[in-house]
Amino acid sequence: MSKRRDFIKNTLLGSAGLLALNHLEAASRKKRKPVVISTWNFGLKANEEAWKVLGSSGSALDAIEKGVRLIESDPSERSVGLGGRPDRDGVVTLDACIMDHKGNIGSVAALEKIENPISVARAVMEKTPHVMIVGAGAQQFALQQGFELKNLLTPESEAEWREWLKTSKYKPVINIENHDTIGMVGLDSLGNLGGACTTSGLAWKMHGRVGDSPIIGAGLYVDNEAGAATATGHGEEVIRVVGSFRVVQNMKHGMSPKKACAEAVKEIKKLFVRRGADWSNTQIGFLAINTRGETGAFALRKGFNYAEHDSTGNVLKDAEFLL
């Protein structure tokens, strides 16, 4: 609210009136219908899990952590958590971040042998004075917090990596098996937004490479006065435009969630052109939700889909795309 409006409000109403107005504002926030959206096909089951919390008036943050943990712990999902494809040295390294409606943030990157990096990120947020811990330090912190070491390289992922080693040719494949990083954002019944993003990153990446997913502003951003957004696809390109923050800023300036995502995708394309870089094998997808619970998505290419769950059900939607 502008200073001028604040002044008029204070002068005309006095403290009793102000109290009533504040109650009104709180009440109108409370009317929000919960909704959660998440990336790719596996978003359907992640949403179901999140809805167990969100549908019973739980917080967006709790719901979202629970939702993405399901995918992290599923060895058949080969791009997140347990069973994620390793880097070129055969090591599974995980990136994740989480953000709440107050602007609290937590993140881990290049974390090894811990199944649920999103919960470690939440512990960074809630139990440390820092916002991001990486590598061996992140693992050490996780162990101190009671997380257990686990081999995350499943026989399937190891076999695929050994096959890749025969040529060792690094060429990321877009829309691998139609699912990838899980990014999830949602609105709870109190009108609060939250979000999480978790991934094993690009398969066969260099050891120590970190993508957009654990970087607040790139892979995820939440602003309770505007909206929340998350990203999937080639992290280097998302970082270059500070993708998720850009989407949220676009919504803050009045764009619908879909338009906000589309403008961020266009910016990525613009920078490809400016750099004269090859973008033939790049995919980027953004997902967004605003404070009214309206949602939208947009991708660089065909093939990006997302799941949306509200009180009427859980559906998979195809995102529109630029090319």
- Cβ distance to ligand SD4 smaller for residue 199 or 290: 199
3-state secondary structure of 258: helix
199 a catalytic residue:
no
- Cβ distance to ligand SD4 smaller for residue 157 or 232: 232
- Cβ distance to ligand SD4 smaller for residue 109 or 123: 109
- Residue carrying the six token digits 């910016």: 267
In the complex, minimum distance from the CB of residue 143 to ligand SD4, in angstroms, rounded to a whole number: 24
- Cβ distance to ligand SD4 smaller for residue 53 or 231: 231
Name the H helices within the chain.
Answer: 3-30, 43-54, 60-72, 117-127, 135-144, 155-165, 235-240, 243-252, 257-275
Catalytic residue among 39, 181, 282, 295: 181
297-302 long-range contacts (CB < 8 A, ≥24 apart) are 297/37, 297/257, 297/258, 297/261, 298/258, 298/261, 298/262, 298/264, 298/265, 298/322, 299/233, 299/265, 300/233, 300/265, 300/268, 300/269, 301/174, 301/175
In the complex, minimum distance from the CB of residue 103 to ligand SD4, in angstroms, rounded to a whole number: 23
Please report, as ranges, the residues that interact with ligand SD4 according to CB under 6 A: 180-181, 199, 201-202, 211-213, 232-235
In the complex, minimum distance from the CB of residue 275 to ligand SD4, in angstroms, rounded to a whole number: 18
Nearest-Å Rg of the Cα atoms of the chain is 20
In the complex, minimum distance from the CB of residue 176 to ligand SD4, in angstroms, rounded to a whole number: 7
- Where in the sequence numbering do the catalytic residues fall? 181
